[in-house]
Structure 1
Amino acid sequence: MKLGFVGTGIISSALVTGFCESCSEVSVIVTPRSKEKAEALKERYPSQVRIARNNQQVVDESDWIFLAVLPQQAMNVLRELHFTPEKKLISLVPTLDFAEAEKLTGPLAVFVDVVPLPFAAKRIGPVVLCPPVQEAKELLSVLGTVVEAETPEQMSIFRTSTALMSPYYMLLAKVVDWCREKGLREDQARTYLTSYWGALCQMAEAFPGTLEELAGEMTPGGLNWQALNYLEEKGALDEWQAALDPVLERVRRK
């Protein structure tokens, strides 16, 4: 399996790591841009990773090509490349106009949109795929759980929801800080809370009812009841939804 990466940033590095860890026979070629990250990958996986001379070499020597450049760079990068019809292109670019991109690439065996996340390096978590092409699903399944989007509109909603990753980590940091200020060691609080919130997500995944019903499984007048009512009275929970609206508008803007 020959994989190529046009763009070698954080997400590309995570994907290369996930693929190389999944199979020793994976062959990867990456662009020389982001030189430090490219060299780090080559050093870590010397028998699997090569650094290309340029973007065209990545395309020429790969079966699957991952387009992982900044949105404002994507069309110019594609304009400079030549694709042959058997190539398979996976876009990681959030706002790529596929109709315009296809005018530059010409017909391809596969051309899909994908939303991976940094924990693909550990081969956990979701990888969103649109359209749900089976061949691409099989490739990406080694990185985590493939979630299929049927339309670009659905894809934009999935992509928007990922914007809560940093706010989630910051919320976790705030609770850890609160625990530390009240008397716990930071390592105690971090170990407990990451395990605790991870378990909450596992429970939510398996719960047969709605998430509102799961939230309601608490003792009236109890500790959870008190905290939930406080946050609802302050409108704090609504703000998490409100934060997503301008992100969705940005994602859907071509």
Structure 2
Amino acid sequence: MSHDTATTQAALVQRLLQTIKPLVPTWLRTYYHVRREQQHDARYGAKPPGEVFSDVYHSSLWGEADEPGFFSGTGSHDPRIVGPYAEAVTALLRELPRKPDVVDLGCGDFHIGSHIRPACGRYVACDVVAPLIAANRARYAHLDVDFRCLDIAGDELPAGDVVFLRQVLQHLDNGRIARVLAKLHRYQVLVLTEHLPLATDFPPNAKKRLGASTRLARMVPSGVVLTAPPFNLKPVHSRVLCEVREGAGVIQTVAYTLH
């Protein structure tokens, strides 16, 4: 088969799918999407997080960048999402008496972190994917960031005043979330971002496997809520910093004063 023939056939298949899609019931499309996402996660079995998320990046499960390199998804690059987050978090940090030392757990490709770096004192950015950390060290060498490769559930966490967890817990199983939560007491403020269902009465903290998907990929969508069982975080104070509608949910950022 020639390249031109293959290209033509692929285009015809895409046109056919676009024609058929409106005819497929919404529940069936949802079921197919949920099954596909859960199958992606199931294939990892008991592999450690470093292997899992290295494959997520290698397979472009969160999308592809316009240029070669790592890409942490549209949630980390879409100006409609990045802008409000960077503005709200920068404003929060500037309310503090001095520039805080921050720890970014699950920093990804650091596109988001680069926007808030000027409002911070010492900045430690962590991720479990070693080649990603190496790429960040090279790309952001001018920003004076301490990039570290570590497993946030299994390793000791760096010291700091403020900790960022931006759309990270949503990819973890509940056991790992609990282990991370048990180590956050060393920070004064937790800035947590999660992709949640639009309906406020959703069942929180549904069980899921470690992997690229979130708890939205369920027939009954769920999301991570640290103040609900089984985590039961009891912050001194909490404040919603920003919310941005995205797909079938909302990306919500909350600042928790821990002590």
Query: Could you say which TM-score interval applies, normalised by the shorter chain?
Result: 0.3 to 0.5
- The structure whose Rg is larger is 1
TM-score by length of 2: 0.37
- Which structure carries more relative contact order (alpha carbon 8 Å, separation 6+)? 2
